[in-house]
């Protein structure tokens, strides 16, 4: 199977750079908000997907639903983040190679 080419391009357009930096800043703010508000989200977030947009959390059973809720509430936040929150407890399997 042929791998797609890996292309690196230099971006010199100041408008593109500014938009990218602004998006990164929105993602940083959402990430920091999530870190600061874990106690508010747990334990109801366990076993669910959380999306954060506009420094507001949206919980759902599927990633698509979490993203849909976040985009509906904050359509202009292109720095939204999401992740799965593992259930607490229960068995964890770790494989060992010998």
Tens of pLDDT along 7-53? 999 999 999 999 999 999 999 999 999 999 999 999 999 999 999 99
Classify residue 30: in a domain, yes or no. Answer: yes
Is the separation of the CB atoms in 70 and 53 below 8 Å? Answer: yes
Residue 36 lies in a domain: yes
pLDDT band at 1 (very low <50, low <70, confident <90, very high): confident
If phi over 0 gives left and psi between -120 and 50 gives alpha, with beta otherwise, what is residue 47? left
Q: Which residues, including other chains, have CB under 8 Å from residue 74's CB and lie 6 or more apart?
A: 53, 54, 56, 80
| Full domain range(s) for residue 19 | 14-84
pLDDT at 88: 79
52 inside domain: yes
pLDDT in tens, 81-94: 999 999 976 666 77
Residue 6: inside a domain: no
- For residue 1, is it within any domain? no
Pairwise CA distance, residues 38 & 48, whole Å: 13
Do residues 50 and 41 touch, judged by C-beta distance below 8 A? yes
pTM as predicted: 0.80
Work out how many domains the chain is built from and give that number.
1
pLDDT at 97 exceeding the cut of 80:
no
């Amino acid at each position: 199977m042929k791998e797609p080419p890996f292309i690196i391009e230099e971006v010199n357009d100041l408008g593109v750079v500014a938009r990218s930096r602004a998006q990164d800043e929105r993602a940083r703010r959402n990430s920091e908000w999530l870190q600061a508000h874990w106690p508010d989200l747990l334990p109801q977030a366990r076993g669910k997907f959380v999306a954060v947009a506009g420094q507001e959390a949206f919980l759902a059973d599927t990633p698509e639903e979490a993203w849909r809720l976040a985009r509906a509430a904050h359509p202009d936040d292109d720095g939204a983040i999401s992740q799965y929150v593992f259930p607490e407890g229960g068995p964890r399997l770790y494989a060992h190679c010998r």
